[in-house]
Amino acid sequence: MKKKIIASLLVGSIAALSASEFSAQADKDRKAMQEYFEKKFADRKTASTYFPYTPKEELDKNFKWGIKGDEFRLGSYAFNKSGREQYEEIVEMPPYEDAIDEGKEIYENSKAIKKCFPDPAIAGEYPKFIKDKGVVTLTGAINNCLKSNGEKTWNSKKGKMAKLEAYFAAASKEKGKKIHIVIDSKEAQEAYNRGKKEYYSQRGYLKLSCASCHVQGAGQRVRNEYMSPLFGQVTHFPVYRLKWEGLGTLERRLEGCNKDQGENPHKPESKWMNELAYFMAYMSNGMPVDGPDVRK
């Protein structure tokens, strides 16, 4: 009996060790990312190093400094004072509230969805790496569920999909769930690495990488909008964007970003986009699920 317990404990600890080995580099990346953003938004005194083109007056008056950890889930509203004021006014009567109710109704009325997702508080667990399927986002998992139950799949970017995801996100937020992305195999690690490489690769006729705007460029202004940091970015999806006049999934936003780079955008639920989302989500690991939310 004793032997059996020791053997199973050994097997368990070896499995845990090798799982952490697969995520070790990703953990280092996440830590380095957090350190970079915390330094970047630490102090007005060092701001000119990170924001050489931002007018001094703007740095003095419109920036909040000393931002740490989970505060970054607010995107640019974490540091942009005037934007934050407008945001807080909007969320007094959030435009996504009806969508959460509609999402709940969709959930309650769909046997298939209920069967696939008995606990709706799972927004922080996706994207997941599934053997033989690769990276599956929440959108992909919902469509896979519909398909396997003989139902028509939904638009990956808006409509029913975004509403159901809004309900899942709200349920996760209510239960205090956090982003919990797992890399527990060599294949998952490779998928993460591919997503990471694509995130940092310059592309399109504008030759921009995702990082040009959301790592190095985060906090800088394009016309009248501050660009949000990668760190914390996936926590608040789906989002109600004022530009869209509606709710959209992470896939919808990623497709838009990819188009803005000057490239024929990759399709939602494609391997490329799923792996990109996997990397992005890992960068927010441990942060609270904060969706749905509002952005401009």
Partner 1 sequence: MKKIILTLAAVSVSFATASLLEEAAKLDVKKVCDVKANGLEKVIATAEKFNPEAIKLGVEFKRLGVKNREYIKYTKEAIKAKKKETVIKYKSKGKEKTKKFATDYAAWRACTFAIRGLQQKVEAEKTWRLAVPGDGFKY
Q: What is the DSSP letter of 178?
A: B
Q: What tokens does 117 get?
A: 């997702």
Output the smallest distance, CB 222 to partner 1, in A. 17
Among 8, 18, 48, 201, binds partner 1 (CB under 8 A): 201
Q: Does 215 bind partner 1 (CB under 8 A)?
A: yes
Tell me the backbone φ, ψ of residue 67, rounded to 5 degrees: -80, 135
Residue nearer to partner 1 on the CB measure, 82 or 202: 202
- Decide if residue 196 touches partner 1 (CB under 8 A): yes
Binds partner 1 (CB under 8 A): choice among 66, 88, 200, 242? 200
Q: How many residues bind partner 1 (CB under 8 A)?
A: 32
- According to DSSP, the β-strands at 221-222 and 225-226 are antiparallel
147 binds partner 1 (CB under 8 A): no
For β-strands 221-222 and 134-136, DSSP reports them as: unpaired
Residue in this structure with the two tokens 């097997």, named with its chain if needed: 11
If the CB atoms of residues 79 and 168 are measured against partner 1, the closer one turns out to be 79
Site for partner 1 in 23-62 (CB under 8 A): 28-29, 31-33, 35-36, 39-40, 49-50
Cα–Cα distance between 47 and 60 in angstroms, integer?
Answer: 10
50: left (phi over 0), alpha (psi -120 to 50) or beta: alpha
Which range binds partner 1 by CB under 8 A, 60-68, 94-102, 186-194, 205-213?
205-213
112 Cβ contact partners less than 8 Å away, ≥ 6 residues apart: 145, 146, 149, 151
Binding to partner 1, residues 217-276 (CB under 8 A):
259, 262-266, 272
- How far is 155 from 194, CA to CA, in rounded Å? 26
Q: Closest distance between partner 1 and the C-beta of residue 201, in Å?
A: 4
Among 209, 228, 274, 285, binds partner 1 (CB under 8 A): 209
Which residue has 């998928």 as its token pair? 191
Residue 64 tokens read as 């909040």
- Least separation in angstroms between residue 5's CB and partner 1 is 40
**Annotated catalytic residue 116:** no
The 3 state secondary structure assigned to 146-201 is: HHHCCCCCCCCCCCHHHHHHHHHHHHHHHCCCECCCCCCCHHHHHHHHHHHHHHHC
Residues forming contacts to partner 1 in the complex (CB under 8 A) are 28-29, 31-33, 35-36, 39-40, 49-50, 196-197, 200-205, 207, 209, 211-212, 215-216, 259, 262-266, 272
Q: Which residues are catalytic?
A: 257
